[in-house]
Amino acid sequence: MSKHKSTRGRLFECDLRQLSIMLASRTGRSSSVRAISKSLSSTPAAASPASILTSSVLLRPLQHSRGLATPAEPAPAPKRTKFGPLKDQDRIFQNLYSHHGADLKSAQKYGDWYKTKEIILKGHDWIINEIKTSGLRGRGGAGFPSGLKWSFMNFPGWDKDTRPRYLVVNADEGEPGTCKDREIMRKDPHKLIEGCLIAGRAMNATAAYIYIRGEFYHEATCLQRAIQEAYAAGLIGKNACGSGYDFDVYVHRGMGAYICGEETSLIESLEGKPGKPRLKPPFPASVGLFGCPSTVTNVETVAVAPTICRRGGKWFASFGRERNQGTKLFCISGNVNNPCTVEEEMSIPLRELIDRHCGGVRGGWDNLLAVIPGGSSTPILPKRICDDVLMDFDALKDAQSGLGTAAVIVLDKSADVVRSIARLSVFYRHESCGQCTPCREGSKWTEQIMARFERGQGTPREIDMLQELTKQVEGHSICALGEAFAWPIQGLIRHFRPELEARMKKYAELQGGSARAGGSARAGGWDHNAVDQGVLTAPGP
């Protein structure tokens, strides 16, 4: 019995020590942690749990447990408040504007495949730690920490699993306004191939599948040519780079379905099935491509990995705000003087990004109406927010939008913002796979309602109905396509509701009706005889 009590006492003491150290460590004072740990280790075995918990070490202020001779902790370094522009020597994608060739020799001249063997031989733990240190977050839109995601493949006992392991690169770039990945594949293909090798080693993968959008014929040709060059030089394949690590790279062309940009839809398509999202769990890290452990990641995320490993995670983390570190490719289109794809520091102000690299908004900054900051699926932002917003994950989230793929779509005052969002509704309705009822039916209804709003038909209460419809779809579909078509409409209603109401009022006046809620059918209101007249129809196919 005494032995049993002694064992329970040791377990309790161990748990209590961990709890107490955790509580003290939250204050950031290492001396307090040491004091508590020493006190607990010297506590008599006969002491009761209550006496331990009420000991003076735990109850007295933590600052009093510091020695009198302990120097004060240094003040934290001041946080940066200005970000960008990026210096040329810090750009990862040196060939973004085709100043060099896309062949192997040209790639080696500007740093690709340099000391790749040494990086591989350092092992998967070292590579993943560098990626975690860098603070790299997924560049495909979700912004999930890449180092953490890559580590999921190395689950306990992974080396005893006889199944093949795959890295799947998502090059199915179908988001309207996004054009960064195709630039990498067309002009810097070796950076992507080397990144596949490094990321594959981090996950102990046996092969990489690059799933490329079917319309990217030229990009697929450039990429396949670069893969053949890498095989011929012994950089990939059997004994890649002379490291003893075997790794193959394959290119698979899709058929242009936007839904296949979702990771499980992409896996389904790779397996020769219809591209429809899978339910999770199981997650791809345990049951992915061909039922084997797999990780799906974005082209840009993979392509920056070799440079991070060569120059160090701390170097990459020195750019941008905390939790938003690194450099990023921004694709800027719309009503600007010089649409372009450019690499810049994260957290650069949106206004500086547009003025510096695009020659400003057409007609000047005061002519700006709104900006879609992260691709078509992110909520639109009006000019008053764009004046000061930073281009990173957290700043745009606080502004009720998102960084997404960093595809900046600029609208000046000559643009019809309602028509622009209505056009996006047509796109998402067309690209819905139809598997989930909220997405299948909701996208049809939003398309029809937005088409009516574009003409000015409807009443103000229908705006609230549309808002409620998007809220019901959001979060109720297997993949994120439900949010993708709901968020742009929510952003429109949030910031441009007066424009919608003014359009309805003008239409009602032209039709000789009233703009009040429940107005006449001519004013866009409800006509109870519409069914008998064959005018009212349900959403079509």
Indicate which CATH number applies to the domain containing 309. Answer: 3.40.50.11540
Q: Residue 40 falls within a domain, yes or no?
A: yes
Q: Residue 242 falls within a domain, yes or no?
A: yes
Pair 300, 139: CB distance under 8 Å: yes
Q: What is the CA radius of gyration of the chain?
A: 28
Pair 392, 360: CB distance under 8 Å: no
Sheet containing strand 166-171, edge to edge, reads: 248-253, 207-212, 166-171, 294-298
- 43 compared with 392, residue with greater pLDDT: 392
Pair 239, 245: CB distance under 8 Å: yes
The torsion region of residue 143 among left (phi > 0), alpha (psi -120 to 50) and beta comes to left
Considering the domain architecture, whether residues 331 and 440 belong to the same structural domain is answered as no
Considering the domain architecture, whether residues 129 and 263 belong to the same structural domain is answered as yes
Considering the domain architecture, whether residues 162 and 133 belong to the same structural domain is answered as yes
Could you give the CA distance from residue 268 to residue 104 in angstroms, rounded to a whole number? 33
Rounded mean pLDDT, 51-56: 41
pLDDT digits (tens, 9 = 90+) for 84-130: 788 999 999 999 988 889 999 999 998 999 999 999 999 999 999 99
3-state secondary structure (DSSP) of residue 184: helix
Looking at 415, 443, 474, the residue that finishes a domain is 415
pLDDT digits (tens, 9 = 90+) for 466-508: 999 999 999 899 999 999 999 999 999 999 999 999 999 999 8
Considering the domain architecture, whether residues 204 and 287 belong to the same structural domain is answered as yes
Q: Residue 35 falls within a domain, yes or no?
A: yes
- pLDDT at residue 256, rounded to an integer: 84
- Which tokens belong to 191? 């950076």
Residue 510: pLDDT band (50, 70, 90) is confident
Considering the domain architecture, whether residues 98 and 238 belong to the same structural domain is answered as yes
- CA triplet 399, 404, 410: central angle to 5 degrees? 70
Q: Residue 73 falls within a domain, yes or no?
A: no
Considering the domain architecture, whether residues 495 and 507 belong to the same structural domain is answered as yes
Domain that holds residue 423: 418-524
- Which tokens belong to 103? 């062949």
- CA triplet 135, 260, 94: central angle to 5 degrees? 45
Could you give the CA distance from residue 64 to residue 70 in angstroms, rounded to a whole number? 11
Considering the domain architecture, whether residues 359 and 259 belong to the same structural domain is answered as no
Q: Residue 264 falls within a domain, yes or no?
A: yes
Considering the domain architecture, whether residues 140 and 210 belong to the same structural domain is answered as yes
Under DSSP, the state recorded for 280 is S
Considering the domain architecture, whether residues 268 and 295 belong to the same structural domain is answered as yes
Q: What CATH number does residue 329 fall under?
A: 3.10.20.600
Considering the domain architecture, whether residues 375 and 424 belong to the same structural domain is answered as no
Question: For the chain, how many structural domains are there in total?
Answer: 4
**Helices 2-25, 30-41: inter-axial angle, 10-degree rounding:** 170
- CA triplet 358, 360, 364: central angle to 5 degrees? 160
The per-type count for the chain, helices as H runs and strands as E runs, is 23, 9
Under DSSP, the state recorded for 349 is B
Q: 229 CB contacts (<8 Å, ≥6 apart)?
A: 103, 104, 190
Considering the domain architecture, whether residues 55 and 192 belong to the same structural domain is answered as no
**What is the model's pTM?**
0.80
- The lowest-confidence range among 75-79, 194-198, 378-382 is 75-79
